[in-house]
């Protein structure tokens, strides 16, 4: 007769085992030890009438007691929490019932059955707080056995929903100092199913209350940047305890920090009650971040967390927890280098939307092999001879149009596999073409390929290039690998070593975009490179700004001092072409002489010129 202890009917142990989370939820509701209220008494009266029972109760389960908010037909105002009726109810997804306690060995010896109030029949439905934690129960009790069918169960479930709705209707927040409603101490929340749903629901409730009392909230995405350092020294248990202590401490010291939770290993979510302040939000967040020094009594650990934060505001930036949390995370991800706290702006969302759209469509393009290459000719400045091409990756999306590498390369920066695929495809395309050209021309044009630093520095990169050259039966001496100065690491010895290994197969190396970044003379003097490509940001200004003209001239002279020829990139006007030629710059690549073009035109140009 006892409802079978069917594990499927019971809630997952995750959502009930965490007593601390449950109690935090109860604390938010702030209902314990409040006086009787008509809106709850109404439900117990209704239940008693519908089921024709002498007793109906609404109770909340504190850590050591069961406390009654509404009680009809019962003298007690609280009982010890250990009683099995409420324990089962809390654990039960639907309705927990015992139709006859005297016939049920699990209950017949219980003191609430053998003594006051002599329960013979019990049916209870868990009451959940806003984030889904079972905080209490609505139950009906009789002193004689009863049957309880599915229809009765449905009604009790509905009545329970009424109680829950009443609970939500309490505009009792925010309160004064020391009102901690967070749930810091949740052990390893990462990977707990539904954890983020709980957090969202919790924050949503805070938003609803804030809207009612006209308060502004700041949603913080806080990152513990140097947590890995801590974990190098301390084990998982110590780390967990330390962070919990730190979070509790943070809440104790900041009464306006009304919620804090761990979103993931490294990231925390904080909610600050700004009341009607908003002007000093960044200062307030920085102050909060600065409280990172913690001396925990666990093994006398002292540690300073380096934290960075992204912040979004309610109601300014969004109205749902989900969006606000996303916005705060976005603000964090898009903060300027060096900034420790960044406030969300709508522009960030726009950019990120375009980026996710691009990302998604780009992945599809890669899968469908829809990337292709264009060939931009490079000419000698003395005699206007065709000397080679730069192979440029292009992506044409039917909806978005042509998208240049400056936009799609950053999309794959974190995607090693895609980057490698793109590089292999470029080298393969170049070698295949060289193989064809070398059968027709004694002096085929050079082909230059852009190589990302992360690929270049891979241990097996020189071997990869050699093997592709071998596949097509071509020598390396017509291939130029372009490396931007930004992508090179300051370890000249390591860089030079890789370059020397590549040079052994005859491959040339060019420094690309020279003059656009932290141009180092050492790149030109200490590395075994073959040419220097001068960035278009320099070249395109030489006919307008004297200072750029002098910079260009210095770079050319510097390169010549090392016996390195130069390529002027981005030449668009005859005036620019004249000036770079006068400077004795050897080669030109730019729209004036040739745009990036498809292979067919490239082949025709080669056949005409060579
Ligand atoms: O930095 P890198 O050498 O990879 O630069 C090549 C890029 O520069 C290509 O995307 C190409 O389309 C672009 N480009 C080439 N010539 C010109 C030019 O004359 N003007 C402009 N604005 N861009 C050019
Ligand atoms: Mn290039």
Give yes or no for residue 596 having a pLDDT over 90.
yes
Give yes or no for residue 251 having a pLDDT over 80.
no
Q: Which residues pair with 61 in a beta bridge?
A: 66
- Which of 96, 324, 355, 85 minimizes the C-alpha distance to 219? 324
- Pocket lining: 590 vs ligand 1, CB cutoff 6 Å: yes
| Tens of pLDDT, residues 2-23 | 344 443 333 334 444 467 778 8
CB 135 within 8 A of CB 60: yes
What are the angstrom distances between the C-alpha of 281 and each of 209, 341, 530? 20, 10, 53
Q: How many CA atoms lie within 13 A of 519 on its CB side?
A: 19
Give yes or no for residue 57 having a pLDDT over 70.
yes
What are the angstrom distances between the C-alpha of 463 and each of 216, 235, 273, 457, 504? 59, 41, 59, 12, 11
- Pocket lining: 143 vs ligand 1, CB cutoff 6 Å: no
Determine the distance from the C-alpha atom of residue 283 to the mean position of all C-alpha atoms in its chain, rounded to a whole number. Answer: 24
Task: Assign 164 a pLDDT band (cuts: 50, 70, 90).
Answer: confident
Give yes or no for residue 173 having a pLDDT over 80.
no
Q: Which residues pair with 374 in a beta bridge?
A: 392
- Could you tell me what percent of the chain has a pLDDT over 90? 50
Pocket test for ligand 1, best of 591, 595, 597, 598 (most atoms within 8 A of CB): 591
Positive or negative: CA dihedral 507, 508, 511, 513:
negative
Lowest mean pLDDT among 82-91, 330-339, 540-549: 82-91
> What integer pLDDT is reported at residue 566 of this predicted model?
98
Q: Which residues pair with 401 in a beta bridge?
A: 397
> What integer pLDDT is reported at residue 247 of this predicted model?
81
- Pocket lining: 392 vs ligand 1, CB cutoff 6 Å: yes
Mean pLDDT value of segment 356-372: 82
Pick the atom of ligand 1 nearest to 513's CA: 1
CB 65 within 8 A of CB 90: no
| Tens of pLDDT, residues 462-484 | 999 999 999 999 999 999 999 99
> What integer pLDDT is reported at residue 535 of this predicted model?
96
Using DSSP, state whether 235 is helix, strand or coil. Answer: coil
Treating both helix axes as pointing N-terminal to C-terminal, what angle do 546-561 and 574-582 enclose, rounded to 10 degrees? 40
> What integer pLDDT is reported at residue 451 of this predicted model?
96
> What integer pLDDT is reported at residue 296 of this predicted model?
62
Say how far apart CA 320 and CA 607 lie, in whole Å: 63
Lowest mean pLDDT among 165-174, 240-249, 368-377, 488-497: 165-174
> What integer pLDDT is reported at residue 511 of this predicted model?
96
H helical segments located in 64-218? 84-91, 111-114, 150-168, 195-212
Q: Which residue has a Cα nearest atom 12 of ligand 1? A: 596
| Tens of pLDDT, residues 428-438 | 999 999 999 99
- Pocket lining: 376 vs ligand 1, CB cutoff 6 Å: yes
Task: Assign 297 a pLDDT band (cuts: 50, 70, 90).
Answer: low
Q: Which residue has a Cα nearest atom 13 of ligand 1? A: 570
Say how far apart CA 297 and CA 517 lie, in whole Å: 49
Q: Which residue has a Cα nearest atom 8 of ligand 1? A: 570
Q: Which ligand lies nearest the alpha carbon of 480?
A: 2
Distance 591 CA to ligand 1 centre (A): 8
Say how far apart CA 267 and CA 243 lie, in whole Å: 12
Pocket test for ligand 1, best of 569, 571, 574 (most atoms within 8 A of CB): 569
- Pocket lining: 596 vs ligand 1, CB cutoff 6 Å: yes
Distance 25 CA to ligand 2 centre (A): 58
Sequential DSSP letters for 260-299: EEE-SSSEEEEEEEEET--TTHHHHHHHHHHTTEEE-SST
Q: Which ligand lies nearest the alpha carbon of 577?
A: 1
Pick the atom of ligand 1 nearest to 569's CA: 16
- Could you tell me what percent of the chain has a pLDDT over 70? 91
Q: Beta 216-224 vs 267-275: how paired, if at all? A: antiparallel
The whole-chain average pLDDT of the chain stands at 86
> What integer pLDDT is reported at residue 177 of this predicted model?
26
Structural domains for the chain: 8-167 (3.30.450.40), 196-344 (3.30.70.270), 374-609 (3.20.20.450)
Mean pLDDT value of segment 486-497: 90
Structure tokens at 381: 């400045």
Q: Which residues pair with 267 in a beta bridge?
A: 223
- Which of 55, 72, 64 minimizes the C-alpha distance to 32? 64
Task: Assign 182 a pLDDT band (cuts: 50, 70, 90).
Answer: very low
């Amino acid at each position: 007769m006892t409802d079978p202890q069917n594990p499927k009917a019971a809630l997952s142990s995750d959502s009930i085992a965490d007593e601390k989370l449950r109690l935090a939820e109860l604390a938010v509701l702030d209902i314990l030890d409040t006086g009787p209220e008509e809106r709850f008494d109404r439900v117990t009266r209704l239940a008693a009438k519908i089921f024709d029972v002498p007793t109906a109760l609404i109770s909340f389960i504190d850590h050591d007691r069961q406390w009654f908010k509404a009680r009809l037909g019962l003298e007690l105002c609280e009982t010890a929490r250990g009683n099995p009726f409420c324990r089962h109810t809390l654990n039960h997804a639907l309705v927990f019932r015992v139709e006859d306690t005297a016939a049920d060995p699990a209950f017949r010896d219980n003191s609430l059955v053998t003594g006051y109030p002599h329960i013979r029949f019990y049916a209870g439905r868990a009451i959940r707080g806003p984030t889904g934690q079972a905080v209490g129960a609505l139950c009906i009790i009789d002193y004689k056995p009863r049957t309880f069918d599915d229809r009765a169960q449905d009604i009790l479930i509905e009545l329970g929903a009424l109680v829950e709705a009443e609970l939500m209707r309490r505009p009792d927040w925010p309160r004064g100092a020391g009102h901690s409603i967070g749930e810091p101490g949740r052990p390893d929340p990462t990977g707990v199913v539904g954890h983020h749903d709980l957090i969202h629901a919790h924050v949503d409730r805070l938003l609803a209350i804030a809207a009612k009392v006209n308060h502004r909230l700041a949603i913080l995405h806080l990152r513990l940047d140097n947590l890995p350092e801590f974990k190098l020294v301390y084990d998982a248990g110590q780390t967990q305890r330390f962070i919990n202590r730190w979070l509790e401490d943070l809440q104790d010291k900041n009464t306006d920090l009304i919620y804090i939770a761990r979103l993931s290993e490294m990231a925390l979510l904080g909610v600050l009650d700004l009341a009607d302040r908003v002007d000093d939000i960044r200062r307030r967040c920085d102050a909060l971040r600065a409280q990172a020094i913690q001396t925990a009594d666990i093994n006398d650990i002292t540690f300073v967390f380096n934290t960075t934060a992204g912040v979004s505001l309610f109601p300014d930036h969004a109205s749902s927890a989900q969006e606000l949390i996303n916005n705060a995370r976005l603000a964090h991800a898009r903060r300027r280098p060096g900034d420790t706290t960044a406030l969300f702006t709508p522009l960030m969302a726009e950019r990120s939307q375009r980026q996710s759209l691009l990302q998604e469509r780009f992945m599809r393009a890669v899968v469908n092999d829809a990337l292709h290459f264009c060939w931009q000719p490079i000419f000698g400045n003395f005699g206007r001879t065709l000397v080679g091409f730069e192979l440029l990756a292009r992506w044409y999306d039917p909806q978005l149009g042509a998208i240049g590498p400056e936009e799609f390369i950053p999309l794959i920066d974190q995607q090693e596999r895609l980057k490698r695929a793109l590089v292999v495809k470029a080298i393969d395309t170049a070698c295949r073409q060289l193989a064809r050209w070398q059968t027709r021309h004694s002096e085929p044009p050079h082909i230059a390929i852009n190589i990302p630093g992360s690929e270049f520095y891979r241990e097996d990169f020189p071997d990869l290039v050699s093997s592709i050259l071998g596949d097509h039966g071509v020598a390396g001496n017509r291939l130029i690998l372009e490396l931007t100065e930004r992508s090179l690491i300051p370890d000249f010895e390591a860089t030079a070593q890789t370059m020397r290994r590549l040079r052994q197969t005859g491959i040339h190396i060019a420094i690309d975009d020279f003059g656009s970044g932290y141009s180092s003379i050492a790149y030109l003097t200490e590395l075994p490179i073959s040419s220097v490509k001068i960035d278009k940001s320099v070249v395109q200004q030489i006919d307008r700004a004297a200072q750029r003209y002098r910079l260009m001239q210095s770079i050319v002279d510097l390169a010549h001092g090392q016996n390195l020829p130069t390529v002027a990139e981005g030449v668009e006007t005859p005036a620019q072409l004249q000036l770079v030629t006068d400077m004795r710059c050897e080669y030109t690549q730019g729209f004036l002489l040739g745009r990036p073009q498809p292979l067919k035109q490239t082949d025709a140009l080669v056949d005409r010129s060579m």
